Amino acid sequence: MSFLGSVGRLTAALFRHRGIAATGGAAIAVLVAGCAFVAAHPATNHQNISSVSDSKPLANVKPKAPPPDPLRVVSVSPSQSRYVNGASPITVTFSSTLAPATPLPTLSPKIAGSWQVTGATATFTPSYGYLPGTTVTLKIPGGNAGMRGLAASAGGLRKPATVTFTTGSFSTLRLQQVLSQLGYLPLTWTAGDTASPVPSGDENAQVSAAYAPPAGSFTFQSGYPSELTSQWQTGASNMLDQGAIMAFESVEGLTMDGRAGPQVWAALIKAAAKDQHNPNGYTYALADQHYPESLTVWHDGKVIEHTPANTGIAASNTQDGTFPVYLRYQFNHMKGTNPDGSKYDDPVWWISYFNGGDAVHYFPRPGYGYYQSLGCVEIQWDPAKFVWSYMTYGTLVTVIGPVA
């Protein structure tokens, strides 16, 4: 048998043993004289599928992720630049949810309060708001150290942002509401049906109401005369306000100028938050120069004294008008010049000055009820001593009737 014949029979035997049918598409390697001979044929369908499956199908290739969108500021509240309520929360809303550890905005000037992040919004709630006329700068950090979004696709705020606003003024109406509530005015204030109550223990709520007072109405307490009630103006400064402010300043140990400045408002807000009422009650005095002249004193709506009085002569008369008590002495010497040019130095008791050198006080006279003083309202000892303890600082004294 030839060598080639033996190789052929061996090959056929191997194919039968393995149960493999050789087809016309197979490549058979045959050793010929120590060399490999390859019979190549066109590729089968099986080979074509195998070659495709070795590469990634186009349908499973994920596209490259786009760069994250930068975080954006959507809105800031307060949105106006002037007349802002200095006690209102400050909110900054962004284009997507913020990361828990994101840097937070800052405020200048600094005040007590705290920031809280909820979703896409950062909110600052003050513990005690800004005073009137304060220019506030809100700085929102950006860049590498700026505010960050929660999701990777949210990115960060590219550039820092700055917002500036100025607070408004405290309301005269709210001043009157609080002074009435605390007993420094002879009125009762009642909140309207739709007005939200101002929490008495919340100082920041009191500050907010000072900027934006709740709706309501005033009612005079019964018993006071028209000489007092006719001077009242709701929401506008008037003599009743001045006297009430002086009374409050006296109680708080402040300089008595009758003006609601920053110190008065700060003390008034604290007093309102603590519901601290006027310890002296409300007193009003009316000096009538119609003959016979008299002095009538009301306290908490009731007449506590009505007594004959003397007012100033023509050469040194007593001016009509309404004035607050600004200086008080139990005893002092009054010094001055008489109409004839002579000097006087008189010991005087139970003194309540209300207009320059004019005062309600005791002075001994043969009679009372007509012009004979040098401008003061003179009354007898017992009524003078009695009303002096009621005529505290800020008590309004009205003088009416013909001036001598």
Tokens, residue 321: 């008008």
Check residue 151 and give its pLDDT: 80
**Least confident among 9-13, 54-58, 249-253:** 9-13
Check residue 193 and give its pLDDT: 87
Check residue 60 and give its pLDDT: 62
Helix (H, G, I), strand (E, B) or coil at 379: strand
Check residue 378 and give its pLDDT: 98
Helix (H, G, I), strand (E, B) or coil at 46: helix
Write down the residue that tokens 């739709």 correspond to.
Answer: 194
Q: Which residues contact 373 (CB under 8 A, 6 or more apart)?
A: 310, 311, 312, 313, 316, 318, 363
Check residue 27 and give its pLDDT: 36
**Least confident among 30-34, 82-86, 88-92, 260-264:** 30-34
- What is the DSSP pairing of strand 327-337 with strand 358-362? unpaired
Residues above pLDDT 90, as percent of the chain: 79
- Sequential DSSP letters for 92-158: EEESSPBPTT----EEES--SEEEEEETTEEEEEESS-PPTT-EEEEEE--GGGS-BBSSGGG-BBS
**Least confident among 52-66, 198-212, 260-274:** 52-66
Average pLDDT of span 38-48: 41
Check residue 213 and give its pLDDT: 96
Average pLDDT of span 59-81: 78
- Is 336 in contact with 344 (CB distance < 8 Å)? yes
Q: What is the pTM of this model?
A: 0.80
User: pLDDT-based confidence at 154, cuts 50/70/90?
Assistant: confident
- Sequential DSSP letters for 215-245: PEEEEEPTT--HHHHTT--TTS--HHHHHHH
Q: How big is the CA angle at 386 (ends 381 and 391), to the nearest 5 degrees?
A: 115
User: pLDDT-based confidence at 70, cuts 50/70/90?
Assistant: confident
Q: For each of the domains in the chain, give its residue range(s) and CATH number, in order of start.
A: 3-60 (no CATH), 73-166 (2.60.40.3710), 172-274 (no CATH), 283-400 (2.40.440.10)
Check residue 215 and give its pLDDT: 94
Q: Smallest Cα–Cα separation from 295: which of 392, 383, 226? A: 383
Check residue 29 and give its pLDDT: 36
Choice between 198 and 44, residue whose per-residue pLDDT is larger: 198
Query: Does pLDDT of 87 surpass 90?
Result: yes
- Mean pLDDT taken over the chain: 87
Average pLDDT of span 366-384: 98
Check residue 66 and give its pLDDT: 59
- Sequential DSSP letters for 297-359: EEETTEEEEEEE-BEE-GGGPPPPEEEE--EEEEEEEEEEE-TTS-EEEEEEEEEEEEETTEE
User: pLDDT-based confidence at 195, cuts 50/70/90?
Assistant: confident
Tokens, residue 183: 């007993």
Residues 83, 38: Cα–Cα separation, whole Å: 96
Beta-strand runs (E) in 4-59: 29-32, 35-38
Q: How big is the CA angle at 246 (ends 379 and 196), to the nearest 5 degrees?
A: 130
Query: Does pLDDT of 51 surpass 90?
Result: no
User: pLDDT-based confidence at 1, cuts 50/70/90?
Assistant: very low
Q: pLDDT per residue over 201-238, tens digit each?
A: 899 999 999 999 999 999 999 999 999 999 999 999 99
Average pLDDT of span 375-383: 98
Burial status of residue 379 (CB atoms within 10 A of its CB: 0-12, 13-18, 19 or more):
buried
Query: Does pLDDT of 318 surpass 80?
Result: yes
Residues above pLDDT 70, as percent of the chain: 83
Q: pLDDT per residue over 274-301, tens digit each?
A: 999 999 999 999 999 999 999 999 999 9
Average pLDDT of span 305-315: 98
User: pLDDT-based confidence at 306, cuts 50/70/90?
Assistant: very high
Angle subtended by helix axes 262-274 and 203-211, to nearest 10: 130
Average pLDDT of span 155-184: 96
Q: pLDDT per residue over 346-360, tens digit each?
A: 999 999 999 999 999
Check residue 21 and give its pLDDT: 37
Query: Does pLDDT of 6 surpass 50?
Result: no
